[in-house]
């Protein structure tokens, strides 16, 4: 029954995919929009409320009805406009606070943890008031009744969440850390509370609870699989994490979806579109400062560019004198964009050498990218992203596994092989089951 917590949001709660794209370097981070938003509207941007509470194709903002997939069924987001009948129009400030920070609706029923109240429980009182004022006075009421969530037994018994909350939710407000400066604490607050980054990037325990809610544990933000994506390691590991990123790299990526080390794909696209590209430059820098302070988790993969055997790879690909599984496939299907040396093309095609997703200990996102491809996106301050085609029908599971294993072991990359079974299982999950 505790497995109900596994309901995680499809966009930010859905996994973050990062593929490395080598750009010339980050420009100075500038605010993505004028400082004309109310404080409550800005906080709602930081919390990315729009993504989950606005149905696809885009309906009225915050009117709910977005379908969120889980292993136990589909859960529909609620209407959080001030409509008195179908939304939160009758909520008092106390009702609103209890729903956001404790996961309990006005009528007393428990909300599924698709609503990330385990993170929101730490939001400060003054920010809850500002959010309440925003939703009550700036958001237009919409008389829309979202579909009712109907989960199979025993997940339909919401009262069981009382026990889960008692065991796993830290119902405490954020407290600044002594010995850390104001910028670090601001970043910690945004990441741990409004940003709720841990909902995707922190691994789950046996009861599907987040294993940690702050930097006090090395589990925090160390990577996790969500909705058939792998939300990457955001700690200081040099291969699979942010160890080789600068603070400027991180801030620029969060604003544009690009940077000297990454280009966004998957559900992180929505996070940047709806949330982080609209944050002030000082807040992006604070987030970057905090993330860069996280110690390495400890990883098995590695990146050693000084030991790169690119010359041998190039000779093998061009002449065929040395045959490696996956080398020919890479030449035929990948090298046109990603180049024979794995360096890609600045501002257009992802760099694979040293790519943190390529080097992730879990290859889920890498496999899914090859199966599904990726669509272009258009951020306000982003260079044009090129489309990656789907290879699901062009390559079978064995060929995909061989190509990815070649990529994960070339140009100084050192990560575990991808197996045919890995690809087969993910293909089944992505294409044979509702998502």
Over residues 134-179, the pLDDT tens digits come to 999 999 999 999 999 888 888 788 898 999 999 999 999 999 999 9
Q: Is 107 a domain residue?
A: no
How far is Cα 106 from Cα 66, in angstroms, rounded to an integer? 21
Q: How far is CA 86 from the centre of its chain?
A: 30
What 3-state class would DSSP assign to 69?
strand
324 within a domain of the structure (yes/no): yes
Which residues does the chain have with pLDDT short of 50? 1-32, 34, 311-312, 315, 319, 321, 434-435
Residues 6+ apart with CB under 8 A from 213: 118, 119, 122, 170, 192, 198, 202, 220
Count up the domains in the chain and report the number.
1
Q: Is residue 204 a part of any domain in this protein?
A: no
Q: What is the predicted pLDDT for the residue at 259?
A: 66
Cis amide linkage into residue 57, ω under 30° from 0: yes
- Tell me how far apart the alpha carbons of residues 26 and 30 are, in angstroms, rounded to a whole number: 11
Q: Using one digit for the tens of pLDDT, what is the confidence trace for 391-403? A: 999 999 999 999 9
3-class secondary-structure state, position 68: strand
User: Contact at 8 Å (CB) between 161 and 112?
Assistant: yes
CA distances, 13 to each of 155, 198, 201, 309, 321 (Å): 20, 9, 8, 38, 47
Q: Read out DSSP for 386-423?
A: PPB---TTTS-HHHHHHHHHHHHTSTTEE-PPPPHHHH
Q: Exposed, middle or buried, 346 (CB in 10 Å: 0-12/13-18/19+)?
A: middle
Range of the domain at 320: 302-432
Do the domain assignments include residue 157?
Answer: no
Q: Which of 30, 146, 171 is closest to 80 using CA atoms?
A: 146
- The answer to the question of residue 136 being in a domain is no
Total-model pTM:
0.88
> From the centroid of its chain, how far is CA 411?
27
Return the CATH number at 416. 1.10.760.10
How many Cα atoms sit within 13 Å of 178 on the Cβ side? 0
Residue 141 falls inside a structural domain: no
Question: What's the pLDDT at 152?
Answer: 86
**Helix runs in 257-374, H state only:** 268-274, 281-292, 310-319, 327-333, 335-338, 364-372
Establish if 96 belongs to a structural domain.
no
For residue 75, the model assigns a pLDDT of: 87
């Amino acid at each position: 029954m505790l497995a109900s917590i596994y309901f995680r949001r499809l966009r930010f709660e859905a996994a973050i995919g990062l593929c490395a794209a080598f750009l010339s370097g980050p420009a100075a981070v500038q605010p993505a929009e004028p400082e004309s938003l109310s404080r409550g509207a800005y906080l709602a941007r930081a919390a990315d409320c729009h993504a989950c509470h606005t149905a696809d194709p885009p309906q009225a903002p915050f009117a709910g009805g977005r379908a969120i997939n889980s292993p136990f069924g589909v859960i529909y987001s609620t209407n959080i406009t001030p409509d008195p009948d179908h939304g939160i129009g009758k909520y008092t400030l106390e009702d609103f606070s209890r729903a956001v920070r404790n996961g309990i609706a006005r009528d007393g029923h428990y909300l599924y943890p698709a609503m990330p109240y385990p993170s929101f429980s730490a939001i400060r009182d003054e920010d809850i008031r500002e959010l309440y004022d925003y939703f009550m006075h700036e958001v237009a009421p919409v008389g829309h009744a979202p579909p009712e969530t109907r989960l199979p037994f025993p997940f339909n018994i919401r009262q069981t969440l009382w026990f889960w909350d008692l065991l796993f939710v830290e119902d405490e407000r954020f407290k600044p850390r002594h010995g850390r400066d104001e910028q670090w604490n601001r970043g910690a607050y945004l990441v741990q509370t409004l940003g709720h980054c841990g909902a995707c990037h922190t691994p789950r325990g046996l009861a599907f609870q987040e294993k940690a809610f702050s930097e006090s544990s090395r589990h925090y933000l160390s990577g996790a699989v969500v909705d058939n994506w792998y939300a990457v390691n955001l700690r200081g590991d040099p291969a699979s994490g942010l160890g080789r990123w600068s603070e400027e790299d991180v801030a620029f990526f969060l604003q544009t979806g690009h940077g000297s080390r990454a280009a966004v794909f998957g559900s992180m696209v929505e996070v940047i579109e709806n949330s982080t590209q609209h944050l002030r430059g000082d807040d992006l820098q604070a987030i970057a400062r905090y993330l860069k302070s996280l110690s390495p988790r400890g990883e098995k993969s590695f990146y050693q560019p000084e030991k790169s055997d690119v010359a041998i790879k190039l000779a093998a690909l061009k002449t065929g004198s040395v045959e490696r599984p996956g080398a020919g496939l890479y030449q035929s299907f990948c090298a046109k964009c990603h180049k024979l040396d794995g360096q890609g093309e600045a501002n257009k095609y992802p760099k694979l050498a040293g790519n943190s997703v390529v080097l992730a200990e879990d290859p889920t996102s890498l496999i899914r990218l090859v199966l599904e491809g990726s669509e272009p996106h258009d951020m306000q301050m982003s260079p044009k992203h090129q489309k990656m085609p789907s290879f699901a029908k062009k390559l079978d599971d064995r060929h995909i596994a061989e190509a990815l294993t070649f990529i994960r072991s070339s140009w100084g990359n050192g990560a575990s092989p991808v197996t045919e079974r890995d690809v087969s299982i993910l293909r089944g999950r992505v294409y044979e089951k509702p998502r």
